[in-house]
Amino acid sequence: MPASGSVSFSTTNLTSVADPVMHLFRREADGDLVQVAVSDDIAWPENLNSRIDYQNGGSAGQFVLIIRAFSTGLSGTCDVWLDGQPHHIAAPVDGWFSDADWFTFAAGDRGRTAHWPGGAAAEILVSFVAPYLPLKVGDGNAPSANADISLLGVESQFLFGAPQIRDGASYTQTRSGVVWFACNDPNDSDGDGVGDLLETEIGTCPTAAPCPPYYAGKDSDKDGLFDGEEVWGVAGTAPAGQDDLDLPRWGADPRRKDMFVEFDYLTTLGAPLAVGQNPFAWIRANPGQPIGAFAGTVESWFDQVQAPYLAGPAAHVRNPDGTGGIRLHFDLGVPPLDPYAEGNFGEWPSASVQALVPDYVIACTAAISGSVTLQLNNSQFTFSADGLSPA
């Protein structure tokens, strides 16, 4: 919005039981969103539409409009008008409210979301002290488009919603579904990113020293991933977050050992694959047809590979949750048919430095010559193999 500008938003053409409430926010220098206008029921009870006419008073900057249902269940669609012109036809009116007394928290805690396999892909999280008075807004400001807000200890409700993302003149609806929400306390004795009280609640080790009989400080299940990485995920290095590691969505569990493996492939594995073809993409397109000694689906291949790992006895594996087995999670470059199975395998980003092993080792079973081509993170690298000996 330009300096000394004005803007008008309004809703029309409500469907179902939609009862839209409009909140207009200005983004501050620190990234926080501060409400500057709110509207609900411009002519209640006959008219449940909303309208905002706002003068920005010479303050240029980014403004964010949130349209949500008045309460859980009063959902539907509405048409949104901007300055008297159609702006968004059939915009969703929705959102899920949770009472603050469902959670235990205090001033200084952080309210954070994390993804589950098959659940929501991004969240808007808003805390309220009254129906029209939001305190904090988290709009994909945490790794992997999760939400993170500071808590003041006086919240009355939390609103969760799957946002629409505008690209040019059109909107894309992010995937809705289950999201995990927790109030993370600031006392973090082991420095793993999960507060001591929250660790006690979810059954992980809150102290720097091991927690007998199985726990191991910041890595409760001893699988090489810190508890905080398995609960919240890992921020990458790209500004837009496209290389974040969404470990919770991919099935990570801080109370059970996980193994994450990225599958790369040489430029050719021979017939029936074409040069540079992903073998798992070929299996997906040709289920049941033989590729080497295997004939089946990507899902059945994964089940066969995972079976011996799941069979590990509980007494040997010593998972903190008391179960046996190790969970495998594969980046195959192919998504599962069932989104709830994306904790088993999928097509995940892996350009982050957190996803790369510093030293790449090639084991040769016999002396070789010529060149070798590797494909890593969608980039090909070719080097001379002359003189390499078995290792």
Is residue 224 a part of any domain in this protein? yes
Q: Please check whether residues 23 and 127 belong to one and the same domain.
A: no
Residue 263: pLDDT band (50, 70, 90) is: confident
Nearest to 160 by CA among 189, 187, 127, 134: 127
In the chain, pLDDT over 90 holds for what percent of residues?
A: 69
pLDDT 10s digits, 106-146: 999 999 999 999 999 999 999 999 999 999 999 989 999 99
Q: With 70 as the cut, is the pLDDT of residue 367 above it?
A: no
Cβ neighbour number for residue 105 with a 10 Å cutoff? 19
**In contact, 302 and 334? CB cutoff 8 Å:** no
pLDDT 10s digits, 204-216: 999 999 898 878 8
Tell me whether strands 110-115 and 179-184 are parallel, antiparallel or unpaired: antiparallel
Is residue 61 a part of any domain in this protein? yes
Is residue 356 a part of any domain in this protein? no
Residue 380: pLDDT band (50, 70, 90) is: low
Is residue 191 a part of any domain in this protein? yes
Q: Mean pLDDT over all residues of the chain?
A: 88
No. of H helices and E strands in the chain?
Answer: 5, 23
Q: What is the mean pLDDT of residues 22-48?
A: 90
Q: What is the pLDDT of residue 365?
A: 57
Q: With 60 as the cut, is the pLDDT of residue 390 above it?
A: no
Q: 141 is in which domain, residue-wise?
A: 104-152+172-232
Burial readout 44-57 (b: 16 or more C-beta within 10 A, e: otherwise): eeeebbbbbebebe
Is residue 299 a part of any domain in this protein? no
Number of folded domains that form the chain: 2
Q: What is the pLDDT of residue 357?
A: 41
Amino acid at 276: G
Domain-terminating residue out of 190, 215, 232: 232
Report d(CA 187, CA 221) in Å as an integer.
Answer: 21
CA angle 346, 122, 172 (to 5 degrees): 90
Q: Please check whether residues 196 and 89 belong to one and the same domain.
A: no
Q: With 90 as the cut, is the pLDDT of residue 85 above it?
A: yes
Report d(CA 98, CA 358) in Å as an integer.
Answer: 44
Domain-terminating residue out of 232, 252, 269: 232
Q: With 90 as the cut, is the pLDDT of residue 306 above it?
A: yes
Q: Please check whether residues 86 and 111 belong to one and the same domain.
A: no
Q: Please check whether residues 30 and 75 belong to one and the same domain.
A: yes
Instruction: Tell me the CB-side half-sphere exposure of residue 79, using CA atoms within 13 A.
Output: 8
Q: What is the mean pLDDT of residues 280-300?
A: 93
Is residue 74 a part of any domain in this protein? yes
Q: Please check whether residues 209 and 129 belong to one and the same domain.
A: yes
Residue 31: pLDDT band (50, 70, 90) is: confident
Domain-terminating residue out of 44, 60, 93: 93
What burial class does residue 344 get, using C-beta atoms within 10 Å of its C-beta: 0-12 exposed, 13-18 middle, 19+ buried? buried
Which tokens hold the place of 352?
């982050």
Q: Please check whether residues 86 and 60 belong to one and the same domain.
A: yes
Q: What residue has token string 């300055």?
A: 83
Which tokens hold the place of 380?
């090909």
Is residue 291 a part of any domain in this protein? no
Q: Please check whether residues 117 and 209 belong to one and the same domain.
A: yes
Q: Please check whether residues 54 and 136 belong to one and the same domain.
A: no
Asked if the bond preceding 213 is cis, omega within 30° of 0, the reply is: yes
Q: Please check whether residues 111 and 73 belong to one and the same domain.
A: no
Q: What is the pLDDT of residue 4?
A: 52
Nearest to 355 by CA among 279, 260, 278: 260
Q: What is the mean pLDDT of residues 23-51?
A: 90
Q: What is the mean pLDDT of residues 57-65?
A: 76
All residues at 6 or more sequence positions from 114 whose CB lies less than 8 Å from its CB, including other chains: 146, 179, 180, 182, 231, 232, 233, 248
**In contact, 149 and 125? CB cutoff 8 Å:** yes
Q: Please check whether residues 119 and 204 belong to one and the same domain.
A: yes
Is residue 310 a part of any domain in this protein? no
pTM of the model: 0.85
Q: Please check whether residues 222 and 133 belong to one and the same domain.
A: yes
Nearest to 74 by CA among 133, 148, 131: 131
In the chain, pLDDT over 70 holds for what percent of residues?
A: 88
Q: With 90 as the cut, is the pLDDT of residue 194 above it?
A: yes
In angstroms, what CA-CA distances link 119 with 51, 68, 166, 313, 334? 33, 20, 21, 30, 18
Residue 360: pLDDT band (50, 70, 90) is: very low
Burial readout 135-170 (b: 16 or more C-beta within 10 A, e: otherwise): bbbbbbbbbbbbbbbebeeebebbbbbbbbeeeeee
Question: Most confidently modeled of 244-248, 260-264, 364-368?
Answer: 244-248
Q: Please check whether residues 79 and 11 belong to one and the same domain.
A: yes
Least confident of 126-140, 246-260, 289-303, 349-363: 349-363
